[in-house]
Structure 1
Amino acid sequence: MAADQEKPPEDTASIAPAPKVEEPKAKSYPMVLFKGEIKIFPDRPLPKYNQGAVKAYEALTASGNQAFALVCEKNIVPQAEIVHKYAGITTPHLPKLLACGVVEWSVDFKERLVFLYEDKMGLPVTAGKNPAAVGIKAEHVISTIFRNLLEIMRAMRDKGIAHGNIRATNIFDGGTATFENAMLGEMLSTPSGYAQPVIYETIERGLCHPLGRGLAEISDDIYALGVTLATLIRTYDPAEGMSDEDIITAKIEVGSFNFIVGKSRFPAAILEFLRGALNDDPESRWTFDDIMTWAEGRRVSAKQTTALATLKASRPLDFMRRKFLKPELLAVALSKDPSQVVPLVENGDLSLWLNRSIQDKELETRYDEGLIEAKREVGSSNYADRLASIMAIALEPDNPIFYKDLKFSPMGFGSLLADASQTKKDLGPFVDVMQGNMIAFWGKSTTMQTRGVSESINRMGSCRSFMQQSMIGSGLERCVYYLSPNAPCFSEKLEQFYVRSAEDFLNALEKMSSQKNRPEWFLDRHIIAFLLVRDKNIIEPFLPDLAASEKHRQRQGMVKMLATIQKRDKMGALPGLSQWVVGMLDNLVDRYHDREKRKAIREQLEKMKTYGSLERIAALFNNYEEAMNDKIIYTQQMQQYQALKKEYFMLEQELDNNKNFGIEAGKQAAALVSGLISAIVVVIYLFFVLTNGGGGSIF
């Protein structure tokens, strides 16, 4: 102690101060006001609510209550078609939907679709823990989180929809540490299953591109519920360090139940549930009623597994330096190197393996049928890719379709196509799929009985017809909106806007009318295709004019269509758009041949263009009788002109060819004129004599 006291004090002045580290400040963006009521703060992100590329931000209602907004990306098509069903669900365990609509996002000044929810979610139940192995006691999970999830699933089943986003990281504590008020996050802002990690999806859905999974079924939710329950209870992550491909391969090789459970220990009752919920055969997987039976403590009847799920070869097939025993795994591998599939098939190796090592009649029949389909493409540049795709379907018909880099369920093809169209990806593979026979062969082969299978196949058949039509409004653009009914218009002219309807289109044009870089013409193939799919009656009557080569017909069709939209949707005045339209109508005005008529129409247009009524503008060019009269009078005058012109040239020709032409006629005319003059002189003379001579003799 003495030594310490004797130690001279340090010269603190000689010690350099530690450098001050300033934390980077988040960028500040103006607040966004939704319909004049809800404030959204772009500089206050809420990552815990993110759904993949769709980000969440703080919001505040007009009454001061906390909310959050999910701001959609244009290429990721949300599930807008089920908003009304979601809003009708009454449960405290789902976030309440406050509103849904379009705002101008102050970050990039582009329009975005936003979903606004009440924020009573609390913290993620995985906060501060391993999200893949949370380690909560089984009895506590069952009595709180699991109970609430079942209530949500029952309510959604009653509405005829599935959630598609059930996972541990999308569950929140509801503001209590005991999880009694646990809530499940939202699912409307993205396509079904888009944000789900592969481990939470069935094998078939996990093999798809996240945007190509299609609408989730209650059976898919039950599978995800099984993975979620195991994740919340276990303390060991069986997928640690594994890629998505590794996870799917493991599920196929050992089964989802064995893979998810892994080395973890679960109570016997929980294992029974997991075995039923994680069954890889959808027909054998537990139903929601089975789960409720189990939850009530009663025994669930065992279900038989289909033969296809247990197919395994007696000897392996070599492909890509790997040995395959299961057709499902080989089906996944074929698309990775289509060039090697051609010799595998044409040399008979695959057929021999199926016949001798698998010995399944249904599989062999599908192979033979697939070979017939594939041979139709022999000689095409994409033959190897098409062959690999069809052979993969034959080997496992319930898998997604693999073609080049595309991996999709036919029910999810539209969302994948919409993304590719908006982000300017190569659309060639999509065209190949729609023009080829892969979808039809998959539809004939699959055993899936989920919603939308037949409808999706029929829609793809319609798209093949669209692709064969060259008329504006058809082609690939028509397919984009036909297969993805909730997609906004992807026209480059509307890049700044989120157009979902004909009314949105007119509002966008009104805003564009004041821009310096506004386009010269309102329409393109995307806009016309979009309107044909979304609002056929509003554009179809004018399509022949819009598709015409004559500019005056295009202008007339355009102004009539815009006027019809404004009138039908009872839109207010559109002065900017009206002035823009008037500036495009010279071709229509110049069709009138009467100079005075043209002048009168231009004067009327000048008066009307600030009124904002497209209907009044269109009415100026909607008088068929007046236009026909103008044409008839013009035709008559042209005929008279041509007759006079013809006579003129005939006279010129006679004068050139006949030197005496006109002399005789001149003499006759001179005699006539002289006689007429003489008569006039005599009459004048007589009148003079009679008036001055008193009526005497004139001789």
Structure 2
Amino acid sequence: MRDRYQIYPGTPLLDLATPSAQAYHAEDRRDPKKSLFALIARPGHPVRIDAMRALKGSEGPGLMTMVEWGVMHWPLLNRKVMAVVYERPAGGRVMASITSEFKALEESELIRKAVTPIFEALKVLRSHNVTHRAIRPTNMFWATAEKDRIVLGDCVTVLPAFEQPVLIETVESGMCNPAGRGPGSYTDDLYSLGASLAVLVQGRNPVGHLDDDAVLRRKIVQGSFATLIGEGRMSLQTSEILRGTLCDDPLERWTLESLELWLSGRRLSPLLAKFEKRAARALPFAGREYSTARELAVAFCKNWDAVAPVILDGRLELWLRRSLDAKDKADAVSGVLRDAVMTVNEKRTAAFDLMVAKTCMLLDGRAPIRYKSVAAMPDGIGGLLAVAMVEGTEVKFIVETIVREAPKGYFETREAYSPENSIMATLYRDQKGFLERASIGNGIERVLYELNESMPCMSPFTVEDYVLDIRDLLPALNAAAKKVDAKTWPIDRHVAAFIGARANFDMERQMGDLTLPDPDRSVMGMLNLLALIQWRLGQGGLQGLATWVGTLLQPAINSYHSRERRAHIEKEIPRLAREGSLVELSRLLDAPEERAQDAHGFAEARATWASAQREIKDIEEGRVNNTKAIRFAQQLAALISMAIAFVTVVLLLLSRWF
């Protein structure tokens, strides 16, 4: 990789692999003594390019140093992949699996070996404006063979929090589909640190016998601190950091400044668990009874089709108003119900689904966007869509989430205004517009690339070349020209959407021409779009792509009326294709002067032809004025007579002479 780092496919390192990336031995050719390893990301899945750019070369006592990253050819898969090279931790993984047991970390060692280095790592991350979102005991390593310091493992080869157990994530993040958790905030990282510390000081997962749903419910009912610590006994100092970082209210949870004060010996005000208000009488739903709004919201999302009747018959509003004494929520639910009922019949199903989604948001003001099977943070919908499309799973409900404006409902039901929310609301309004336009360059493919900067182009023409940047698109298509059916277009829906999302120059006209029904104009749109990219990026030597495009240009050639012009173009295309110039091909076929001259000549020819046709018809129908013909015949006869007389006189003179 980069003509410097040698990665050995035959030397896997299972102890350094992650659930989504395989690990292999690596060497630095300039410094062979340095101990390195490489992670090979799962092909096609989005990675965190922003974090890679930020963290490359960053050093800290609690960070595994990233040496290099980039796209490279991987012989085991015979395709290009994303590879990340790290300095190798010498002491191994802290916890082999989330269900295993290990030697607990002594409380006296907690600050020195774990909290201090990880605090420094979080400061480095914040300085680069990125979150880690992969802090967990199974992704922590001993930096040295003496096991005197813990470092955080990889966080860039997979979506944020994608591999995190529900145990380690906040209640809100644990509610999400793993791919939809989003980059989150630094308080999310601090919560994961607190949950990891709780495991480290106990030497085991305290709720390993429970499934994810049970863990989430226990956190909601009992609080995260009680769930992870339970009856465990520990010092006041350790209890303080765990209560601060595991606080379920993100507004009261410790910040990095709070953690810094704690490390400096300052004792902070103890945070006591705050439990959600319980109803005087439980609400029965789906075979169980619920006493808090948050529990009920979770149950609603798991039994989506059974929720609408509970809202429509007023049971939910009555329970909120009388049993829970939550009049504001009751009024809000009443408003959502009123809007849904007023919808016309043919759209009522969609309105009721949105009604359920908004109701769940009102019941739990900190929960993610939830719509049918979709559960994602606003900045996580793109990741959820990416994984679904890569793995070939259903995207229908994700599309409905955007088209039916569930994100807008999410922002409207938040208690506090945030500028970021306004930006996100605008973003999703744009995505809805793309989805409502089904033409090439729009649709679900456009949304995929708009919401995922790190998503490589998924076109079958480019998928093996891992095209992340528009600069790599034409070379990838050029390479694909040798393997594809020459009758297919190089611009499919994914290529067009990728160009639309990644290009930073105007190409509205060319993209519009692609969608035209006329074959000659659409094929010229395809050629002009590719030529524009080649010209703007200054890329040459695209003989394969130019030849491929050249074979598709017959409709554009036939749009010329002059046989001579068509013959000239057909003769020139192979020469320009050998030069690899899409720009010159575009100029040849789309020259305004030539087009105007051809149109003018064709107009003249049509006029002459039409005049001749009219005259023929007039003659055939006897409607021609004969005066002109008689006069012409008389003149012709006179000329012929004079010619005969002249010849006769000459012959007589010659006969007399001789």
**TM-score normalised over the length of structure 1:** 0.87
In structure 2, relative to structure 1, the CA distance for the partners of 1:465 and 1:567 (3 Å cut) is closer
Q: 2:331 aligns with which of 365, 368, 388?
A: 365
SS state of the match for residue 517, structure 2? coil
Look up the match of 2:373: 405
Question: Is 2:509 the counterpart of 1:546?
Answer: no
Tell whether the 8 Å contact from 1:377 to 1:386 is kept in structure 2 after alignment. no
Q: Which amino acid aligns with 1:163?
A: H
The residue that corresponds to 2:494 in the other structure is 526
- Which residue, 663, 681, 694 being the options, matches 2:644? 681
- 1:356 is aligned to 2:319: no
Corresponding residue number in structure 2 for 1:54: 21
Contact 2:116–2:263, Cα closer than 8 Å, also in 1: no
Residue 111 (structure 1) shift: 2.9
8 Å Cα contact 2:385/2:398 also seen in 1: yes
CA contact (8 A) 1:199 1:227 kept: yes
Report the CA distance shift for 1:239/1:224 in structure 2 as closer, same or farther (over 3 A). same
Partners of 2:201 and 2:596 in 1: how far apart? 82
Alignment-mate amino acid for residue 535 of structure 1: A
1:589 paired to 2:557: yes
Counterpart residue number, 1:18: none
Query: Secondary structure at the residue paired with 2:505?
Result: helix
What one-letter code is carried by the residue in structure 1 that aligns with 2:610? Q
Map 1:13-412 to 2 at 5 A.
34-63=1-30, 64=32, 65-74=34-43, 76-87=45-56, 89-120=58-89, 122-126=91-95, 131=100, 134-180=103-149, 182-235=150-203, 237-302=205-270, 310-375=276-341, 379=345, 380-382=348-350, 385-412=353-380
CA distance in 2, matches of 1:286, 1:316: 33
Deviations 1:279-337 (A, max 9, x none): 0001111111111111111122456987xx53211221111221211211111001222
Once residues 156 and 186 of structure 1 are traced to their aligned partners in structure 2, the CA distance between those partners, rounded to angstroms, is 13
**Counterpart Cα distance in 2 of 1:133 and 1:328:** 35
> 2: distance between equivalents of 1:572 and 1:95?
40
Shift of 1:456: 2.4
**Alpha carbons 2:358, 2:413 under 8 Å: kept:** no
CA distance 1:226–1:213, change in 2 (3 Å)? same
Other structure's SS at 2:589 match: coil
Distance of 2:75 and 2:455 partners within structure 1: 22
Please report how far the alpha carbon of residue 131 of structure 1 lies from its aligned counterpart in structure 2 after TM superposition: 4.5
Distance 2:631 2:415 in 1: 104
CA contact (8 A) 1:317 1:323 kept: yes
Structure 2 residue identity aligned to 1:354? L
Deviation at 1:46, TM superposition (A): 2.9
Instruction: Please tell me the residue identity of whatever aligns with 2:553.
Output: L
Structure 2 residue matching 1:57: 3-state secondary structure: strand
Other-structure match for 1:17:
none
Q: Would the aligned equivalents of 1:67 and 1:117 in 2 still touch at CA under 8 Å? A: yes
Cα distance in 1 for partners of 2:222, 2:406 equals 29
Segment of structure 1 superposing worse, 683-692 or 82-91: 683-692
| TM-superposed deviation, 1:432 | 1.7
Letter in structure 2 aligned against 1:348: G
| Deviation, structure 1 residue 449 | 7.6
AA aligned to 1:156 is L
Alpha-carbon deviations, 1:598-620, whole Å to 9, x = none? 22222222222211222222221
Could you say if the C-alpha distance between residues 676 and 412 of structure 1 is closer, same or farther in structure 2, counting changes exceeding 3 Å?
A: same
1:202-221 deviations in Å (ceiling 9; x for gaps): 00001101111111211011
Answer whether contact 1:235 1:264 (CA < 8 A) is retained: no
Asked if structure 2 preserves the Cα contact closer than 8 Å seen for 1:74 and 1:422, the reply is: no
Query: Which residue of structure 2 lines up, in the alignment, with residue 465 of structure 1?
Result: 433
Q: CA deviation at 1:392?
A: 1.3
Q: Distance in 2 between matches of 1:106 and 1:486?
A: 23
Residues 606 and 493 of structure 1: is their aligned pair in 2 closer, same or farther, counting only changes over 3 Å? closer
Aligned residue for 2:302, secondary structure, equals: coil
Unpaired segments ≥5 residues, structure 2? none
CA deviation after TM superposition for structure 1 residue 244, in Å? 0.6
Counterpart of 2:467?
499
Instruction: Work out whether residues 542 and 560 of structure 1, in 8 Å CA contact, stay in contact via their aligned partners in 2.
Output: yes
* 1:40–1:60 Cα contact (<8 Å) kept: yes
1:137 positional shift = 1.0
Distance change >3 Å, CA 114–CA 129, structure 1 → 2:
closer
Q: CA deviation at 1:581?
A: 1.6
Identical pairs, percent: 27
Query: Residues 607-686 of structure 1 correspond to what in structure 2 (within 5 A)?
Result: 607-654=575-622, 672-686=635-649
For the Cα contact (< 8 Å) 2:362–2:413, is it kept in 1? yes
**Aligned counterparts of 1:236 and 1:678: Cα–Cα separation in 2:** 127
Highest CA radius of gyration, 1 or 2?
Answer: 1
Q: Matched residues in 1 for 2:434 and 2:408: separation?
A: 16
Q: Is the 8 A contact 2:62 2:119 kept in 1?
A: no
Work out whether residues 311 and 358 of structure 1, in 8 Å CA contact, stay in contact via their aligned partners in 2.
Answer: yes
Rounded Cα–Cα distance in structure 2 between residues aligned with 1:649 and 1:530: 58
Q: Structure 1's 682 and 481: CA in aligned 2 closer, same or farther, altered over 3 A?
A: same
Q: Distance in 1 between matches of 2:349 and 2:78?
A: 44
Cα deviation, 1:675-697, whole Å, max 9, x if unaligned, reads 32332233345556778979xxx
Q: More deviation in 477-486 or 238-247?
A: 477-486
Deviation at 1:486, TM superposition (A): 2.4
Query: RMSD across aligned C-alpha pairs, in angstroms?
Result: 2.8
**Corresponding letter in the other structure for 1:269:** Q
Change (3 A) 1:518 1:62: farther
Q: CA deviation at 1:258?
A: 1.0
The separation in 2 between residues aligned to 1:350 and 1:37, in whole angstroms, is 64
- Structure 1 counterpart SS, 2:133: coil
> Residues 281, 526 of structure 1: CA spacing in aligned structure 2 closer, same or farther, 3 A cutoff?
same
SS of alignment partner, residue 610 of structure 1: helix
What is the number of residues matched between the two proteins? Answer: 653
Return the letter of the residue paired with 1:446: R
Is the CA contact (8 Å cut-off) linking 1:421 and 1:427 kept in structure 2? Answer: yes
Judged with a 3 Å threshold, the aligned counterparts in structure 2 of structure 1 residues 413 and 452 are, in CA distance, closer, same or farther, namely farther
Contact 2:457–2:468 (8 Å) recurs in 1: yes
Q: For 1:425, give the aligned amino acid.
A: T
Which structure 1 residue ranges, 5 or more long, are not aligned? 1-33, 695-699
Residue in 2 that maps onto 1:434: 402
Question: C-alpha separation between the residues in 2 aligned to 1:106 and 1:383?
Answer: 51
Contact residue 312 and residue 337 of structure 2 kept, 8 A = no
Mapped to 1, the partners of 2:629 and 2:405 lie a distance apart of 87
Contact 1:370 1:394 in 2 (8 A): no
Q: 1:518 to 1:226 in 2, by over 3 A?
A: farther
SS in structure 2 at match of 1:509: helix
Once structures 1 and 2 are overlaid, which stretch shifts more, 337-346 or 572-581? Answer: 337-346
Distance 1:45 1:450, change over 3 A: farther
1:150-195 CA-partner distances (Å, limit 9, x unpaired): 1101111222222111111111112322323x32111111111111
Counterpart residue identity of residue 21, structure 2: V
How far off its partner does 1:492 sit?
A: 4.0
For 2:152 and 2:517, locate their aligned partners in 1 and report how far apart those are by CA, in whole Å: 55
- Structure 1 residue identity aligned to 2:143: G
Aligned partners of 2:320 and 2:327 also within 8 Å: no
> How far is the alpha carbon of 1:479 from its aligned partner?
2.0
Where 1:194 maps in the other structure, the secondary structure is coil
Q: Which moved more, 1:526-535 or 1:443-452?
A: 443-452
User: Which SS does the other structure have where 1:496 is aligned?
Assistant: helix
User: Is 1:444 aligned to 2:396, yes or no?
Assistant: no
1:372 maps to a residue whose letter is R
